[in-house]
Amino acid sequence: MTDLHNRVALVTGGAQSIGAAIADGLAAAGATVIVGDLNPSPDHESMTLDVSNEDAVASVIAAIVAGHGSLDIVVNNAGIMFEESVADHDRTTWDRMLAINLTGPMLVTKHASSHLAASGHGAIVNVGSIEGDRCNPHHAAYAATKSGVHGLTRATAIDLGPMGIRCNAIAPGWIDTPLNASYVDSHPDRDLVIDELAKLHPIGRVGAPSDVADVVVWLAGDESRFVTGQVMTIDGGRTVRPPLPGILS
């Protein structure tokens, strides 16, 4: 089991869904967890944070270090997603997606880096997506930002490695989140959708938030001490199997 006792972790967007599971997983491994979110966490210490606001990012990180003495782990999870065709994209929504999904992780990394270096075992985990390498319809902005997160991860690993900081990313696939559940529930034949989704995955099911959290905990701990600059896909094997027409599969 990964031991994160005496380590302080910031999880952005950690009040709900995958972020909440990550916060729970880090806490279960012994870390002191602070959630930075626009909404309060029901289970962990919370600080109001808009990751697109550099002053807010700097203030929250300074407050964490002042209150807890260190910052050892950063999980850049905060993000948004909406559907809009690239042909019809509104500049305001495009800029908002970039500000939260890509600029936010950069700002948090920038202001956390000196504290992570001082900790002696600083670790950053960025939350990307399988859509950082492939794309669903009307997800131009989302896919672009997640591709950027993957690139930022590699650049961070190179730039901050000499400071003793590791940086990796995860790329989740279909995870059973409230957002995805509401999408499934809106379908006239919910059970058929669940069955068809399961068939997409060689492992035979969609992912749970805890499946993602377990990998983040490992990447945050000493067991992964020689792993950096990597994007780890967590998708139950979905993307390694080329799709076939229904009549053949």
Residues labelled catalytic: 142
CB atoms within 10 A of CB 167: 29
Residue with tokens 């995805």: 180
d(CA 108, CA 92): 22
d(CA 63, CA 59): 6
| 51 CA to centre of own chain | 13
Which of 65, 63, 35, 64 is CA-nearest to residue 51? 35
| Angle (CA) 40 42 44, round 5° | 85
With residue 45 as reference, give the H or E element that holds it: strand 45-48
